Amino acid sequence: MWVRVARALRALRRAALLLPLALTALALLLLPRPPPLAPSPRSPSAPAPPREEPHVQIQHLDVVTEPEYVVGHEDVSTHLPWFMRGGEHRPWQHEPDAKLFPEDAPGDDRVVQQLMYTLPKNENVPIKKILLANGFGAWGVAAGRTEFVRNKCPVDRCTLSSDTRDAATADAILYKDHHTPFNVKRPLTQIWILYYLECPYHTASLRPSSVDVFNWTSTYRRDSDIVAPYERWVYYDPLVTEKDLDRNYAANKTKKVAWFVSNCHARNRRLQYARQLSRHIQVDIYGACGSHHCPRTDPNCLEMLDRDYKFYLAFENSNCRDYVTEKFFVNGLQHNVLPIVMGAQASEYAAVAPHNSYVHVEEFANPEELANYLKRLDEDDNLYNSYFKWKGTGEFINTYFFCRVCAMVHANERRQRSAHYSDVQAWWRDGACTRADWRAAQRDTRDNG
């Protein structure tokens, strides 16, 4: 009997020990299931393949086209190229077929591709000598390799000289605005580059003996061999061209249109257009051509745009192909004001400007029609603010002109490319500008064709 009692007591003790475990398991089964773990922030994306026209061959990923990098949301790591703020991505592999020259990508300025070009890492690459025919002062650079090493150019195997004794041995000679011949025999492989900053109306004509001696051009025009734009806009992500705004750009602005101008006799009759516009909407003209005054050296003048005005007349002094200057990029886009533009054709502004960031005068039949649209924008904050959604989607980059010159000189030799302008003056001037608007010029062309 005592044996049976002892066994029963041992069974009860085992049950008492197992009961808490059973209750804990039951409680765990009854608890709601936790949500799945959120994925950790992704690592920097691999460069996205470039978007190109159907007839253009896709390039390898180490060569940035327009552009070949991705920026995610604010909580995602960025992957920016070396020429953008904070960018560290550099070309790591030589791409022999990179689209560097005008014939490689017609209609493209190829600035990004040139900045992301590099040479093979396993070769002892010779140093190329670039002679500055106008001297260092005209360019603001130092002698030797300083410009290339200091800027960490992907292709830095170049040196700069201003010594005329190098004219017979230099790999390239860069002429600014005019051609001054050297009395030495020119090597067959030497590259002569003609650089123009201003438009054809404001550059001197070359002598007849100089029109057929240049291999390359370097100007703001997108069909130049080395494009030298006044500014260059690059998106962080080419698929993200606008973002939600966190402010109202129309708030507290009480004035309509402003314009800073000193040349009252521009060939495109911009002053006459502005005066016609002023008959229908308030236009405050500052400088020699108007009744308002604000010294050009006074920083408050441009701050006034941010504070008081909704619109700014970013009118160039000439209507010339691809001619878009700091009047648009700096006075306009780099302030919180909507630029009204005149100068290059509408399609050419679209090629260089952030998406939906300006209003072109030739979108309207006349100044009165433009004024009516500006009044509509003035009365509709949502519509007005739609022109600022590009802000924060990219940045204006340093185009590192001499880095690109060095890269191109090396690439030219590797491809054994031969280029020559039979008449650089005709290329630069013929059909490049119009004294009327572009619509009238196109009508004249059709009528005469």
DSSP state of 218: E
pLDDT attached to residue 67: 46
What's the length of the chain?
449
- Which sequence positions are flagged as catalytic? 198
Here the CATH number for the domain that contains residue 293 is 3.40.50.11660
pLDDT attached to residue 78: 53
**Does residue 321 lie in a domain region?**
yes
How far apart CA 102 and CA 241 sit, in angstroms, is 26
pLDDT of 314 over the 80 cut = yes
Q: Are residue 188 and residue 109 in the same domain, yes or no? A: yes
Total tally of structural domains belonging to the chain: 2
DSSP state of 294: -
Q: Are residue 388 and residue 288 in the same domain, yes or no? A: yes
Question: Terminal CA-to-CA distance of the chain, rounded, Å?
Answer: 126
pLDDT (tens digit per residue) in 364-423:
999 999 999 999 999 999 999 999 999 999 999 999 999 999 999 999 999 999 999 999
Confidence of residue 76 (pLDDT cuts 50, 70, 90): very low
User: For strand 255-260 and strand 283-286, is the pairing parallel, antiparallel, or unpaired?
Assistant: parallel
Question: Would you say the C-alpha torsion 349, 388, 85, 65 has a positive or negative sign?
Answer: negative
**Does residue 223 lie in a domain region?**
yes
Tokens linked to 54 = 């159907």
Q: Are residue 302 and residue 405 in the same domain, yes or no? A: no
> Looking at 35-44, 67-76, 335-344, 352-361, which range is the least confident one?
35-44
Q: Are residue 212 and residue 344 in the same domain, yes or no? A: no
Are 245 and 388 in contact, with CB atoms under 8 Å apart?
yes
Are 71 and 237 in contact, with CB atoms under 8 Å apart?
yes
How far apart CA 229 and CA 181 sit, in angstroms, is 27
pLDDT of 79 over the 50 cut = yes
DSSP state of 71: B
Q: Are residue 213 and residue 114 in the same domain, yes or no? A: yes
pLDDT mean over 119-147:
96
Q: At what angle do helices 270-278 and 367-379 cross, to 10 degrees?
A: 50
Could you list the residue range(s) of the whole structural domain that residue 425 is in?
102-229+400-429
User: For strand 191-195 and strand 216-218, is the pairing parallel, antiparallel, or unpaired?
Assistant: parallel
pLDDT of 444 over the 50 cut = yes
**Does residue 410 lie in a domain region?**
yes
Half-sphere exposure of 127 (CA within 13 A, CB side): 11
How far apart CA 50 and CA 59 sit, in angstroms, is 7
pLDDT (tens digit per residue) in 227-266:
999 999 999 999 999 999 999 999 999 999 999 999 999 9
